[in-house]
Amino acid sequence: MNKMAASMVQTGEDAFRKIFKYYKRRNPPPDFSDVLDFSKTTLLDKVVAVTLNPAAVSDVEAATVGLQPVRSWRAFSLQGHPGFIFICNPFLPGSQPFWVRQCLKTYPQKPNVCNLDMHMCPTDTQDIWGKSLRGLSVLPSAKRQEKTLLERLRWVTLGYHYNWDAKTYSADHYTPFPADLQTLSVQITAACGFPGFSPEAGILNYYRSDSSLGIHVDESELDHSRPLLSLSFGQTAIFLLGGLCRKDPPAALYMHSGDVMVMSGQSRLLYHAVPRIVPAPQRHPDLEVDSHNLALSRQDGAVVESVSEEDWAVCSRYIQSSRVNVTVRQVLGPGQSFPQTSTDVKQTAHSTEEGQSGKRKRSETAQT
């Protein structure tokens, strides 16, 4: 541990907040030497290898969603955090462009919900991609007066749409969860030992190079025995993984493009945050359109299709400076249903305490 980080931990008082601020700091920039990089072959004592279940997903099934055979995935956990699983980019070379395109072009479309819907009418947010193309092709954003809708996109919700104010999901705000992302999520969670995971809600966060995500725990889902899945594309994030108490000092790790994280079991409710986006280590070969991409599209039952050159020109420009994170959640356990709505609650006594219990604490959403 470098001296700066060590001295902050020793003071004891809200170590997470101090480390968050440390990594967020611009001037002087922080020392990144304590940030764990699972993509490096030399791993430290606190990193534990995780055995996955290759029998849960056939190689053919995995290839349809653009994943390598499960036996070749490199998966790790951190000592003291059982249930935390980090999978180093399990995607087949050339398949990430499809998922990036879905995140930028497809998932922001209606009926999904995005931050722009909060202050714009549905007709104006109907074709974020189409309405952004001209602006994006003219000049770099710094030289343009107005940002395109794509550049103003901060979050998209899928399935049971998360209500950021009430910090709840509800039965009456649901649209079908995208089938392709559902298949991908079911395969990854099955390989991690969670057969029967049901992707019901998704949150996409769009980070520019100066965005961060505050310290929070994802607890609004009603069944915490189900894992939470996280996928990252584009630029690298510094991810802080803390403990069950908000003040526990966190570990810092890099999340590169294609990396997958599963928070399950005792690690399902750990505090976490993203204090900083850093440039991807080098020009990422997996983010280039190449022959693998075309080969994948011809496979029987393929979910992953090839991305047109026009679409990729826009996507690759976007992710040169941005990061997209997708979290997939199961909200309800088998046979479980939502508690009474707030309208019902008003008519019922003694229900306010219970109404607080499912809260998802989040001090900041992805912000610039």
Residue 128 contacts residue 153 (beta carbons within 8 Å): yes
Asked if residue 235 binds ligand OGA (CB under 6 A), the reply is no
Q: What is the DSSP string of 134-148?
A: HHHHHS-GGGSSS--
218 marked ligand binding residue:
yes
Q: Nearer to ligand OGA by C-beta: 150 or 237?
A: 237
Smallest gap from residue 323 Cβ to ligand OGA (A): 7
Of 186, 188, 215, 237, the one binding ligand OGA (CB under 6 A) is 237
- When CB distances are held under 5 to 8 angstroms depending on the partner's kind, the choice from Mn ion, ligand OGA, none that residue 154 binds is none
Q: Nearer to Mn ion by C-beta: 95 or 325?
A: 325
Q: Nearer to Mn ion by C-beta: 276 or 292?
A: 276
Smallest gap from residue 218 Cβ to Mn ion (A): 4
Structure letter (DSSP) for residue 263 = E
List the beta bridge partners of residue 219: none
Q: How many residues bind Mn ion (CB under 5 A)?
A: 1
CA distances to 109, 185, 209, 275, 367 from 216, rounded to whole Å, are 27, 22, 21, 12, 14
Instruction: Kindly identify the residues of this chain, within the stretch 181-210, that bind ligand OGA according to CB under 6 A.
Output: 203, 205
Backbone region of residue 12 per phi and psi (left: phi > 0; alpha: psi in -120 to 50; beta: other values): left
Contact segment (CB under 6 A) with ligand OGA among 52-60, 83-91, 219-227, 232-240 equals: 232-240
Q: How far is Cα 132 from Cα 151, in angstroms, rounded to an integer?
A: 8
Q: Nearer to ligand OGA by C-beta: 149 or 203?
A: 203
- 42: Cβ–Cβ under 8 A, 6 or more apart, which residues? none
Q: How many residues bind ligand OGA (CB under 6 A)?
A: 13
Instruction: Kindly identify the residues of this chain, within the stretch 270-289, that bind ligand OGA according to CB under 6 A.
Output: 272, 274
With b for 16 or more beta-carbon neighbours within 10 A and e for fewer, the 261-295 pattern comes to bbbbbebbebbbbbbbbbebeeebebbebeebbee
Instruction: Kindly identify the residues of this chain, within the stretch 288-327, that bind ligand OGA according to CB under 6 A.
Output: 325, 327
Residue 90 contacts residue 190 (beta carbons within 8 Å): no
- 292: Cβ–Cβ under 8 A, 6 or more apart, which residues? 92, 93, 94, 95
Q: Which residue's CB comes closest to Mn ion? A: 218
Of 89, 168, 220, 230, the one binding ligand OGA (CB under 6 A) is 230
Q: Nearer to ligand OGA by C-beta: 192 or 274?
A: 274
Structure letter (DSSP) for residue 116 = G
Of 218, 221, 259, 311, the one binding ligand OGA (CB under 6 A) is 218
286 marked ligand binding residue:
no
Smallest gap from residue 203 Cβ to Mn ion (A): 8
216 marked ligand binding residue:
yes
**Do β-strands 74-78 and 84-88 pair in parallel, antiparallel, or remain unpaired?**
antiparallel
Instruction: Kindly identify the residues of this chain, within the stretch 205-224, that bind Mn ion according to CB under 5 A.
Output: 218
Residue 81 contacts residue 292 (beta carbons within 8 Å): no
Residue ranges in contact with ligand OGA by CB under 6 A: 203, 205, 213, 218, 230, 232, 237, 239, 255, 272, 274, 325, 327
Residue ranges in contact with Mn ion by CB under 5 A: 218
